[in-house]
Chain A
Amino acid sequence: AQSVTQPDIHITVSEGASLELRCNYSYGATPYLFWYVQSPGQGLQLLLKYFSGDTLVQGIKGFEAEFKRSQSSFNLRKPSVHWSDAAEYFCAVGENDKIIFGKGTRLHILP
């Protein structure tokens, strides 16, 4: 069965530091992959998605993610975080009729 694992429940980084949020998936074929962000009290916003092609995907707000088939990973990165990036981040895997979400990583930013 499909599954999505986000190993880190919480991550704390200093403002201006680089960020990498981990996501691993279990899926038989090449999956459709997503990263969503949820700010406090808000809904979910799509940051980026991967369907095929270039394995390095650029998203909104300066985020990028890299699909690594050999590692079954789709990690989210940002070179320099801002205080406004504090939020919860969800990785998701899609198949024909559903999208499965990881349990989320909450990002805290130190001033």
Chain B
Amino acid sequence: EAQVTQNPRYLITVTGKKLTVTCSQNMNHEYMSWYRQDPGLGLRQIYYSMNVEVTDKGDVPEGYKVSRKEKRNFPLILESPSPNQTSLYFCASRTSYEQYFGPGTRLTVT
């Protein structure tokens, strides 16, 4: 089954404790993205990657890092999380403008 998986689905952490949210797709898509969703703000793109070792900033990249060492994986790294990064995060992959979303990761930073 074609899918995008994210882990963990729920995470509660404390300010400053580094964390990684994993994302994996099995569709051999070159293009992957990370979004955050906040009430009243819709989805905002954090980072995207057009291929292995190629990443670029989206609209809200501050406080986040990504890496793309292999095509299927695109982890999101928060080196020093802060409470304003409490949000719902979605990974997505796409080809020819058909975008597939992961199930989401709800992150709470206290």
A residues near B (Cβ < 8 Å) are: 9, 32, 34, 42-46, 49, 51, 90, 94, 97-104
- Check if B41 sits within 8 Å of A44, measured CB to CB: no
Which of A43, A90, A99, A103 is B102 in contact with, Cβ under 8 Å? A43
Query: Which residues on B sit within 8 Å (CB–CB) of A103?
Result: 40-42
Tell me the minimal C-beta distance from A1 to chain B in angstroms.
11
- Check if B97 sits within 8 Å of A32, measured CB to CB: yes
- Nearest 4 CB-CB pairs, A to B? A103-B42, A101-B43, A44-B101, A43-B101
A98 CA / B55 CA spacing, docked (Å): 12
Tell me the minimal C-beta distance from A4 to chain B in angstroms.
8
Contact digits for B29-45, partner A, Cβ 8 Å, 1 yes 0 no: 00101010000111111
Which of B48, B99, B102 is A97 in contact with, Cβ under 8 Å? B48
User: Which residue of chain B has the shortest Cβ distance to A95 in the bound complex?
Assistant: B97
Determine the main DSSP class of A at the interface with B: strand
B1 within 8 Å of A by Cβ?
A: no
Which of B42, B94, B97, B104 is A51 in contact with, Cβ under 8 Å? B97
Q: A44-B101, A97-B56, A98-B45 are in contact. List 12 more A-B contacts (CB 8 A).
A: A34-B97, A34-B99, A42-B103, A43-B101, A43-B103, A45-B101, A90-B42, A99-B94, A100-B45, A101-B44, A103-B40, A103-B41
A100 CA / B50 CA spacing, docked (Å): 16
- Check if A49 sits within 8 Å of B97, measured CB to CB: yes
Tell me the minimal C-beta distance from A89 to chain B in angstroms.
11
Tell me the minimal C-beta distance from B110 to chain A in angstroms.
22
A45 CA / B102 CA spacing, docked (Å): 10
A9 CA / B40 CA spacing, docked (Å): 8
- Check if A44 sits within 8 Å of B90, measured CB to CB: yes
A-B contact pairs, 26 of them (CB 8 A): A34-B97, A34-B99, A42-B103, A42-B104, A43-B90, A43-B101, A43-B102, A43-B103, A43-B104, A44-B43, A44-B90, A46-B98, A49-B98, A51-B97, A90-B43, A97-B31, A97-B56, A98-B48, A98-B58, A99-B33, A100-B45, A101-B35, A101-B43, A101-B44, A103-B40, A104-B42
